[in-house]
A and B are shown apart, each in its own frame.
Chain A
Amino acid sequence: MTANRGQGATTETRTDSSTESVTERVAGSPGVDDAVIESRDLKVFYGDDQALQGIDMEIPEKQVTALIGPSGCGKSTYLRSINRMNDLIDVARVEGDLYFHGKNVYDDDVDPVALRRKVGMVFQKPNPFPKSIFDNVAYGLRVQGKDDGDVEGKVRQALERAALLDEVEDQLDSSGLDLSGGQQQRLCIARAIATDPEVVLMDEPASALDPVATSKIEDLVEELSRNYTVVIVTHNMQQAARISDKTAVFLTGGHLAEFDDTSKIFENPESQRVEDYITGKFG
């Protein structure tokens, strides 16, 4: 079941380079006026198994959207479908549409690598390269040929936005692997935003961190949403409640049960199944 209590959830979106426009009420949307990502009937299959069951959702620009739900509900699959990370899995197959600024990212003329420059990703386990802190952040700039200008300035800005610069300013030449787990994760966030993406996807970015490091990541997520659209998968419902503006609840079988303002989801959800899940009566 998808909830649709949105007000003015009507959106107009260009579906492709032709001028065909689509105007339709999008089920599962809380009425997003400034959606940057929009999925329509998005289905993902792993071989014969269907991991997502026709997801309709609009993700607002420069806000934090949390995806929550029990293990195997499809929330990470949805996240990875946004920047076509599922392309890397041989048996994965995608049906339906996923628009980024109105352009279907699964169109043939979309280069996944170019897409991922605009839609960066941070993973559960910090994965810095075995390089210096500076080179970790500069890596993406160099790969993209953006190292012709002020690389140092861009690296410092990314580290500052990732709330790490103050802690590593005197050790930029040290290995990224020498940092603590929380610092490594913020280094990965710096690396992800150095190339100036519009969207940052985060797949349980704090689940491997201690409470203090987790708090820093949560503060950072809130800060990042001033400049970026953040979509975060988390198993920690209180974390979703603390840091997100919108929450999508996926339930077993890859269904989007409810998508709404986070305060609405955690104070008075429409769906009884969502109520049961977030109050811990099942799952």
Chain B
Amino acid sequence: MARKSYQEQLEELREDVCYMGEVVMERLRMGLDAIEQKDEDLAQEVIEGDGEVNRMYLDLEKDCIDLLALQQPVASDLRFIASTFKIITDLERVGDLAVNLGEYTKDAERDLFPDVDVQTMGDLTLEMIDDAMVAYDTENVEQCRDLAVRDDDLDHYAERASGIVVRDLIERELGSPDEAELLLQDVSRLLLTIRDLERVGDHAVNIAARTLYMVENDDELIY
């Protein structure tokens, strides 16, 4: 094979991105566990771990720029690097959303809305990110298209969950001003959690969309 070193660099980039995906998923898992167990130490670990994700992102961004500048990739190689450049941004954002989960955990003191199953929603988003990264690694275009469909289900789930919270808020007796303020904070936090998890699903679809473009030059999921 000609340009052996270049081909090895491309493969190394793919492996490094998949590793970043694993780290980000681990952070997201930890964020969800922190919420479920109200574990402030775990939450703090997630928050402090974001620096590592950011460093990985910057390193991979530099790898992409170096490959573009020094190897002048074309065709599928060019699409791979262009897609990777976008995908690492999505992964970095998922890392930030995991940090948000940690911060919500630290602020929360009680669980007023047991009917809202944040964990199930979190599991769905984790599976989506996992599948998106497998699709990227194995260039599985069917998995990419499937993720777009699953994101619609996640959106409906998030919509229903938000509806439960809002309806409960309307029906609930507010009590004292202090109690009302506390309730408002609880509701805000829960709605933000739902929104953030829904956004994780969006990032999974972004990864799938770029992967589909990478493999088939097909931009149907991007626009």
Which A residues have a C-beta under 8 Å from some C-beta of B?
A: 237-238, 241, 266-269, 275, 278-283
**Cβ-based interface call for B3 (8 A):** yes
Residue pair A241, B74 in contact (C-beta under 8 Å):
yes
Which of A237, A266, A267, A282 meets B2, CB within 8 Å?
A282
Provided the pairs A280-B3, A281-B1, A283-B2 are in contact, do residues A267 and B78 lie with their beta carbons within 8 angstroms?
Answer: yes
Residue pair B79, A267 in contact (C-beta under 8 Å):
yes
Which of B72, B75, B77, B217 meets A238, CB within 8 Å?
B72
Residue pair B78, A275 in contact (C-beta under 8 Å):
no
Whole-angstrom distance between the Cβ of B14 and the nearest chain A Cβ: 15
**Cβ-based interface call for B76 (8 A):** yes
Provided the pairs A237-B74, A279-B74 are in contact, do residues A268 and B79 lie with their beta carbons within 8 angstroms?
Answer: yes
A268-B217, A280-B2, A281-B3 known, 6 other contacts, Cβ within 8 Å: A266-B75, A278-B75, A279-B76, A280-B3, A282-B1, A282-B2
Closest Cβ neighbor of B10 among chain A residues: A279
Residue pair B3, A267 in contact (C-beta under 8 Å):
no
Residues of B within 8 A of A241 (CB): 74
Residues of A within 8 A of B75 (CB): 266-269, 275, 278-279
Chain A proximity mask over B1-43: 1 for CB below 8 Å, otherwise 0: 1110011000000000000000000000000000000000000
Which B residues have a C-beta under 8 Å from some C-beta of A?
A: 1-3, 6-7, 72-79, 217
**Counting chain A CB atoms within 10 Å of each CB, which of B6, B7, B74 scores highest?**
B74
Residues of B within 8 A of A238 (CB): 72
**Counting chain A CB atoms within 10 Å of each CB, which of B72, B75, B79, B217 scores highest?**
B75
Whole-angstrom distance between the Cβ of B74 and the nearest chain A Cβ: 4
Residues of B within 8 A of A266 (CB): 74-75, 78
Which of B1, B7, B74 meets A267, CB within 8 Å?
B74
Q: Give the 4 A-B residue pairs with the shortest CB-CB distance, closest first.
A: A280-B3, A268-B217, A266-B74, A280-B2
A93–B6 Cα distance when bound, in Å, is 42
A275–B80 Cα distance when bound, in Å, is 13
Closest Cβ neighbor of B216 among chain A residues: A268
Whole-angstrom distance between the Cβ of A82 and the nearest chain B Cβ: 27
**Counting chain A CB atoms within 10 Å of each CB, which of B72, B76, B217 scores highest?**
B76
Residues of B within 8 A of A280 (CB): 2-3, 6
Closest Cβ neighbor of B2 among chain A residues: A280
Residue pair B2, A278 in contact (C-beta under 8 Å):
no
A-B contacts, 11 listed (Cβ < 8 Å): A266-B74, A267-B74, A267-B75, A267-B79, A267-B217, A268-B76, A280-B2, A280-B6, A281-B1, A281-B2, A282-B1
A275–B75 Cα distance when bound, in Å, is 7
Closest Cβ neighbor of B7 among chain A residues: A281
Residues of B within 8 A of A237 (CB): 74
Residues of A within 8 A of B72 (CB): 238
Residues of A within 8 A of B217 (CB): 267-268
Residues of B within 8 A of A279 (CB): 3, 73-77
A35–B111 Cα distance when bound, in Å, is 73
A267–B1 Cα distance when bound, in Å, is 21
Residue pair A278, B1 in contact (C-beta under 8 Å):
no
Whole-angstrom distance between the Cβ of B197 and the nearest chain A Cβ: 35
A282–B74 Cα distance when bound, in Å, is 14
Residues of B within 8 A of A268 (CB): 75-76, 79, 217
Whole-angstrom distance between the Cβ of B163 and the nearest chain A Cβ: 44
A119–B86 Cα distance when bound, in Å, is 46
Residue pair A278, B74 in contact (C-beta under 8 Å):
yes
Residues of A within 8 A of B73 (CB): 279
Whole-angstrom distance between the Cβ of A192 and the nearest chain B Cβ: 30
Residues of A within 8 A of B7 (CB): 281
Residues of A within 8 A of B3 (CB): 279-281
A216–B78 Cα distance when bound, in Å, is 27
A283–B79 Cα distance when bound, in Å, is 21
Whole-angstrom distance between the Cβ of B55 and the nearest chain A Cβ: 30
Closest Cβ neighbor of B4 among chain A residues: A280
A241–B75 Cα distance when bound, in Å, is 12
A106–B73 Cα distance when bound, in Å, is 40
A268–B77 Cα distance when bound, in Å, is 10
A280–B67 Cα distance when bound, in Å, is 14
